[in-house]
A and B are shown apart, each in its own frame.
Chain A
Amino acid sequence: MTYLSKAAMLCAMLALGACSNALGQDDTNAVDLNGTGNFVAGSPGDPTSPAHFQQVVGDRVFFAVDQSTLSAEAQTILAAQATWLLTNSDFIATIEGHADEQGTREYNIALGARRATAVREFLVSRGIPGSRLSIISYGKERPVEICSDEACYAKNRRSVTVLASGLTG
């Protein structure tokens, strides 16, 4: 099974607005959501499910303006992510780094990379093999909140750990 069909499967399974994240938010990766994969039932109540990872463990952490240091709260969430990833070793993850709109485009791409890397390094320090963790930065290109106030900016300065199945290798 290809990576994309797995991703489609996860996406269909989650049936959440965040599906586009699971697909790397890149339209070139557009997939057929009506594909004929064998969908796995997985609800947030199932601790081995990506839905659980996303909603219960928490798939994202937030950063201060222009910073990539991990707050105590972020470290708690990432420790839980690490525990989950150690248990569910079939999954690989792409860590997306994002910035708010208060910054120049190029700098924000570099800043997003710094944030994603800080998360990756934390997860590696907790025993996740680096080979399971890739990073990508979207800079300020993919805000989730669109107001021009700190309430929105704070949610856009984020790193999101996006799961995919690693079974196919």
Chain B
Amino acid sequence: MTLFVRMFLVSLAVPLLLAAATSSGAQAQSGPLRIEITEGVIEPLPFATPDFVADSAQAAQFGRDIARVIAANLTGTGLFREIAPSAFISQISDFSAPVQYADWKAINAQALITGGVSLQGGQLVVQFRLYDVFSNAELGSGLQFAGPPEGWRRMAHKVADAVYSRITGESGYFDSRVVFVSESGPKNDRRKRLAIMDYDGANVQYLTDASSIVLAPRFSPTGDRVLYTSYEGGAPRIYVLDVGSVQRRVLEQQDGAMSFAPRFGPDGTTVVYSLTQGGNTDIFKLDLANGQTQRLTSAPSIETAPSFSPDGSRIVFESDRSGTQQLYVMPANGGEAQRISFGQGRYGTPVWSPRGDLIAFTKQNRGRFHIGVMRTDGSEERLLTASFLDEGPTWAPNGRVIMFARETRGAQGSVSLYSVDITGRNLRPVPTPEGASDPAWSPLQN
């Protein structure tokens, strides 16, 4: 799957855009402002985001910052291209005044985002409008958000989500967070602690100290809790941490056993995970309400990395029962598993897309690592990345973008986060204060 834009062919860029569209099989046409995320190559859609108009000096900085975050969100998708404010012919000084479409057409701004900010009784109020410049019309109706001023970035993300959604027809993913393992120190003395941040790397907060190894955090379906694996009790065990209070408790504790690779079920009441007993690793399910566990696999091979389908009916996992790591799908209560990976190499860390249509995975083949996606029956495998060590995909809430960790070679090797869209385009680093691995993307926040 790839991308194309249906554009208006009325600007100086027409010949170029037309060429791009036809070469990718897309059909250029006039019509509503729209990016169709399907096949082909994309020419990013040019947009303008003037500073949001402030009603006071105190609100002015918010007006500038919010416009910048919106622009960064949109350009970060690879689907949009920002027109520099220095190119603007008209300025937006009144949020309510009519837009001078000709001035925005002249600089080929196909989308125009205007907004107003005000401080009212300690609340920051943000309004915005989205214009389809070449249709001389507003796209959707204006929206207003209000909240504490310190939440201004979230309001910017919500505006950007609305813009993205109106233009692509897909839900957005900007008002979301990522929990990950923050890493420091050399490879043979790596310090790891859990951290959480906005999806774009802002507002980093640490959830554990570096006194124990912590691994692979996973959000609950509502984003309020995080499952992870920690060595704080000696052997690896599964913990659950409340994001708000940062309180944690051990979930699975059996003498002589190790538990790891936990993931919530889609309703947040069950957890699937791996348990190692007597050297053998199988998959179990824990009912959080009553603490009951249920064995889902029973084989002498390694079964790990389980992930539910979004409807809760099936679980994808990895197993080396065939001799090498491969992906399998089984019913959510266990039972016969179908192997779905048949390509060259080894497959691990499967994660079901929140849309239900794809499974992302890590693949190792001939000394290289890849992040890839395949349909849930294993067909249409597509590798999105290649490097010395790419690992651990996690899905954006809209199922269009994947984040993962990339580690570089050698004694000085470091690990950091990247995102890529499911067409394999728009690979870009995600900024973190120090090394970072094991990302997990939250659902959209409320």
Contact = CB atoms under 8 A, between A and B. Distances in A.
20 contacts: A26-B212, A26-B231, A28-B233, A30-B211, A101-B389, A104-B318, A104-B364, A104-B392, A105-B438, A107-B305, A107-B348, A109-B258, A110-B302, A110-B304, A121-B279, A141-B213, A146-B187, A146-B410, A148-B409, A148-B413
A28 B325 contact: no
Contact of B349 (A66, A104, A116, A147): A104
B231 A117 contact: no
Nearest to B281: A110
A83 interface: no
Interface string B182-194: 0000111010000
A32 to B, nearest CB: 15
Given A136-B258, A146-B411, A104 B348 contact: yes
Interface in B224-282: 231-236, 256, 258, 260-261, 274, 276, 278-281
A104 B279 contact: no
A50 interface: no
B298 to A, nearest CB: 15
A105 B210 CA distance: 18
Given A29-B234, A141-B213, A141-B215, 11 more contacts: A26-B231, A26-B234, A104-B305, A104-B391, A104-B392, A106-B348, A107-B318, A107-B320, A136-B234, A143-B187, A143-B188
B261 A106 contact: yes
A1 to B, nearest CB: 19
B325 A104 contact: yes
Contacts, number: 116
A167 B411 CA distance: 40
A135 interface: yes
B407 interface: yes
Nearest to B235: A136
A106 B234 contact: no
Interface string A125-153: 00000000011111001111111100000
Given A102-B364, A146-B186, A107 B304 contact: yes
Contacts of B325: 104, 107
Given A105-B215, A107-B325, A113-B279, A148 B410 contact: yes
A27 B411 CA distance: 23
Contacts of B409: 148
Which 6 A-B residue pairings sit nearest by Cβ, starting from the closest? A117-B279, A104-B348, A110-B281, A146-B187, A110-B302, A148-B409
B216 interface: yes
B349 A106 contact: yes
B213 A103 contact: no
B176 interface: no
A60 interface: no
A104 B367 CA distance: 13
A142 B281 CA distance: 20
A22 B55 CA distance: 65
Nearest to A120: B279
A114 B279 contact: yes
Contact of A146 (B188, B215, B236, B281): B188
A121 B280 CA distance: 13
Interface string B384-400: 00001101100000000
A103 B364 contact: yes
A137 B276 contact: yes
Of A104, A136, A145, most B-chain CB atoms within 10 Å: A104
Interface string B406-423: 010111010000000000
B376 interface: no
Contact of A116 (B260, B279, B305, B320): B279
A143 B190 CA distance: 10
A58 B389 CA distance: 32
B215 A101 contact: no
A101 B369 CA distance: 11
B362 interface: yes
Interface in B161-193: 186-188, 190
A118 B279 CA distance: 8
A78 to B, nearest CB: 15
Interface string A53-74: 0000000000000100000000
